[in-house]
Amino acid sequence: MNYTTQMDAAKKGIITKEMEIVSEKEQIDIELLRQSIAEGKVVIPANKNHKSLDPEGVGQGLRTKINVNLGISKDCCNIDLELQKVRKALELKVESIMDLSSYGKTEEFRKKLIDMSPAMIGTVPIYDAVGFYDKELKDISADEFLKVVEKHAENGVDFMTIHAGINRETAKIFKRNPRLTNIVSRGGSLIYAWMELNDKENPFYEHFDKVLDICEKYDVTISLGDACRPGSINDSTDASQIKELIVLGELTKRAWERNVQVMIEGPGHMGINEIETNMILEKKLCHGAPFYVLGPIVTDIAPGYDHITSAIGGAIAASSGADFLCYVTPAEHLRLPTIEDMKEGIIASKIAAHAADIAKGIKGAKEWDYKISEARQNLDWERMFQLAIDPEKARRYRNESKPEHEDSCTMCGKMCSMRNMNKVMKGKNINILREDD
C-alpha cells in the first residue's frame, strides 16, 4: 500500500521502517506508536531525500529530544567552522540540528549538513530568502518565499519553522497590546515587517495550502513558529502570544487533514510559575501536537549564563508536557556561539531533558541514574566516567586534583562517606588520621 507521509501511513495502518526504528529506540509498542502518529501526538520528521537520517520520534510518551542551532551569518560566515560544530554536536548525540544560516553559500552548507547528519535537520526558510534572492525583504514576493520552502524540502530538510500564525489579525492584537520587547522572534519580526511594508497578509498564512503541498510531497514536518513568543518575562502569556497559539491550533488541523506532520513552537521567556500553565494551554489549543520550546528562559538577568536559565525552564516545561527542547548557549543574546559555547548548551539541555524524562516516567530513564549511583557507591571512578553525561569533563576534573588515596577525592579525602560506609558495613575499622591497618 502506498503512502505520502508518516502520518498518512499511520492512518492507513502501515508500519514504516522509520516507525520500527523509533519503536525499538524508545522501547514502546509499535502499534501504540503508529496510533500516536495517526493522531498527530507524535511526529517522525523524515524527509524522503534525507538518506543519512537515523529517525527519531518526538511527542507524547517518548524521550524528550533536544535541538542544536547552527549556521553561517554575515558576521560569521566560516562554513568549515560551522561544520566542526556539526561534528561535535553529532559526537554528543543530539537528535536534531537546525541550520539557521542567513548569508552566503547557504545551500552549500545545508547540503553538506544533510549528507553527513544522522540527526534530523530543521531550517527556517525565511532566514534564507534575503540572501537567496539578493533582494531586500520588502521586494521579495509571496511566490519567492514559497520557492525557498520548496528548495529546502528538495534538499532533504526534515522539518521547517513556518511563521504562519502571525497573520494580520494577530498583528492587530499585537498593536493594541504594547510589549516591552515587541516581537523578538527573528522570523516573526521579518514576517511582521514584510506585512507592514507591503500592506499584505502573511504569505505563509495566505498560501498555507501551498506550503502543505510541498510538505506532503517530501514528508516535511511543519514546525509552526511562535512569532509572538515573549522576549522578556514581562511579556509572557499575553494577548499576542495566546492569539497566535489559537491560530496555530487552527493551522494544525488543516495540516493533519493533508497528512502533514506538525510540531508547535513555544516560549520564550517566562517566570517559573507560568510554565506548567503554558504547556497545558498549548496541548489544549493545538490538540495534543508535540510542543517544541526555546528554554523557557526563566529570568532575564543572566547574559552569559542563559544555558542555565534555559535548562531550569526546560526541565520544568518538559516534565509538564513539552516534547522537544531547543538548546540555549551561554552566548544567547550576545554573539554567535563557539564550539565550547555549543557544548555547554547541549549538556545543559540534555540534563534538563533527562531530568524531565525521570519525572515523566519514561522507560529506561531512571536506570541510567541507578547505574551511576551504583558506581559512585562502589567508588568505581572509571565506571562513573563512562556513564557521565560529559565523560571528558568528569575525567578532567578528577585528574586535575588527585587525592592521596585513590578511593576518595580531594573534597573529603579519608572522610569520604562512601568510603567509610563501605568499610563500616563490612565490619572494618575506619582510620582517618593514620594509615589503614
Annotated binding residues? 69, 98, 127, 163, 185-187, 226-229, 265, 269, 292, 333, 409, 412, 416
Cell numbers at 313, concatenated = 525552564
Q: Which residues are annotated as a binding site for substrate?
A: 69, 98, 127, 163, 185-187, 226-229, 265, 292
Known binding positions for [4Fe-4S] cluster: 409, 412, 416
Task: Give the annotated binding-site residues for Zn(2+).
Answer: 269, 333
Q: How far apart are alpha carbons 91 and 17 in whole angstroms?
A: 24
